[in-house]
Amino acid sequence: MSTTVKRLLIWTPRVLGILFALFLSIFALDVFGAGYTVWETVVALFMHLIPTFVILIALAFAWRWEWVGALGFLSFALWYLLEAWTRMPPLTLVLIAGPPLIVGLLYLVDWIYRSELQPA
């Protein structure tokens, strides 16, 4: 396996995980137009950011242990699909469950090939 492929396989799930956390965070911004008081807005913002915090915690552990990233991101994708299957349109399911599914699979490949990917 070439050095470029190794580096891509190591860094791609990490960067995509960060981008997915940022993407999820965008949906929390709707609390600012809801007409809440300052403290209600803070509480609502924190509640809306809980999925992002979970993703960031999984990402922090996955940085060292790739299997945790595979398990965490694949579990998040499966949980969202099961939770929203009957309530959301297919495009929403793909947009929210697709990225963690891809990141989880990349972490799985990273974990499987970790002995080849480690620097010598």
Residue at 42: amino acid letter = V
Tell me the pLDDT of the chain (120 aa) as tens digits. 678 888 888 899 999 999 999 999 998 888 887 788 889 899 999 999 999 999 999 999 999 999 999 999 999 999 999 999 999 999 999 999 999 999 999 999 999 887 776 654
| Distances in whole angstroms, Cα of residue 118 to Cα of each of 10, 36, 60, 103, 106 | 9, 50, 19, 19, 16
| Ordered alpha helix ranges (H), 1-120 | 3-26, 38-48, 50-62, 66-84, 90-112, 114-117
Place of tokens 């297919």: 90
The pLDDT value given to residue 117: 63
**What are the tokens at 5?**
């492929």
